[in-house]
Amino acid sequence: MSATSELSHLFRALKAPAAARALPKLAERARAEEWTYERFAEALLSTEQSSREAHGGEGRIRSARFPARKTLEEFDFTFQRSVKKQVIEHLGQLDFLHARENVVVLGPPGTGKSHLAIALGIRACLAGRRVIFRTATEWVALLADAQRQGRLDDELRRLERYPLLVCDEVGYIPFDPHAANLMFMLVSRRYERASLIVTSNKPFSAWGEIFGDDATAAAMIDRLVHHAEILSLKGDSYRLKDHDLGARPAPQTAERA
Ligand code: ADP
Ligand code: MG
């Protein structure tokens, strides 16, 4: 067997296609530039490793099931002035994941809550962290399902292995007491163990209405915000950016005692 075919056999056996592809060019460069054997080995192996990381990232992004692909780079901070670019960029470094902290994004529809939640989630996937993205309604359905099958505890434990869960759109639909309790369990279970990103179109003062009872809401908010970055987005919907905003009715404010 020639050296070339022996090598391609070895690359296949090691499942290292990126290294196999890179080999001819790297070997040529190594000869021309008189690399040490170590430098050559390092170049070949790191080619394979970065290709795997990139693919792993894509795999994690697919399994997280983000509803769209958004990045922090495409977030327009001149339109959304209520949040500091510096704060978001710091979140993008993902220290909050290591610290097992949460991120809560509040604001009216269209202000970029889901965009930021997705973009941070994608950053986490690319950094090697597993993520699941679901709306609050979907989380409740998933947990209710597990509960019906008598495996709620197993499910919550399984979810703990994900360093980041995103719970989008809390408050779009009010919860019945059962649903509220499941959400509370999810939040409590992750408390100081793993991170959550939660978005809501309702201020905390209206969460009593969402969860049907002020005490449950207060307990949930308490757990959620104890170690958290809270982003309060303001202003008009980005979707109306190029439209005449003068004709829009004034936003309703939630008044609660
Ligand atoms: P929300 O979840 O707050 O209702 P989204 O994040 O879904 O709003 O934003 C609505 C649309 O506008 C999305 O396509 C999003 O990418 C875009 N968008 C919102 N805010 C910004 C922004 N500041 N810069 C760039 N795109 C934005
Ligand atoms: Mg949204």
Residues 35 and 121 in one domain: no
Report the pLDDT value the prediction gives residue 55, as an integer from 0 to 100: 80
Per-residue pLDDT band for 53 (boundaries 50, 70, 90) equals: confident
What is the whole-number distance in angstroms between the Cα of residue 184 and the centre of ligand 1? 27
Average pLDDT rounded to a whole number, residues 42-62: 88
Task: Say how many domains are in the chain.
Answer: 2
Residues 50 and 163 in one domain: no
Ligand closest to Cα of 81 equals 1
Q: For 100-146, what is each residue's pLDDT tens digit? A: 999 999 999 999 999 999 999 999 999 999 999 999 999 999 999 99
Which residues form ligand 1's pocket by a CB distance below 6 Å? Answer: 70, 74-76, 79-80, 107, 109-115, 238-239
Q: Which residue's CA is the closest to the ligand 1 atom numbered 7?
A: 114
Q: What are phi and psi of 128, to 5 degrees?
A: 95, 10
Instruction: Indicate whether 88 belongs to any domain.
Output: yes
Q: For 180-238, what is each residue's pLDDT tens digit? A: 999 999 999 999 999 999 999 999 999 999 999 999 999 999 999 999 999 999 988 99
Q: Could you tell me the residue range of the domain that residue 36 belongs to?
A: 3-64
Enter the pTM of the model: 0.79
256 near 205, Cβ under 8 Å? Answer: yes
Helix spans in the chain (H): 3-13, 17-33, 37-64, 85-92, 95-98, 113-126, 136-148, 152-160, 177-190, 207-211, 214-226
Pairing of strands 195-200, 164-170: parallel
Q: Which atom of ligand 1 is nearest to the CA of 169?
A: 2
Q: Which amino acid is at 89?
A: E
What is the whole-number distance in angstroms between the Cα of residue 142 and the centre of ligand 2? 19
Residues 146 and 46 in one domain: no
Q: What is the CATH number of the domain that holds 136?
A: 3.40.50.300
Residues 33 and 94 in one domain: no
Ligand closest to Cα of 75 equals 1
Ligand closest to Cα of 68 equals 1
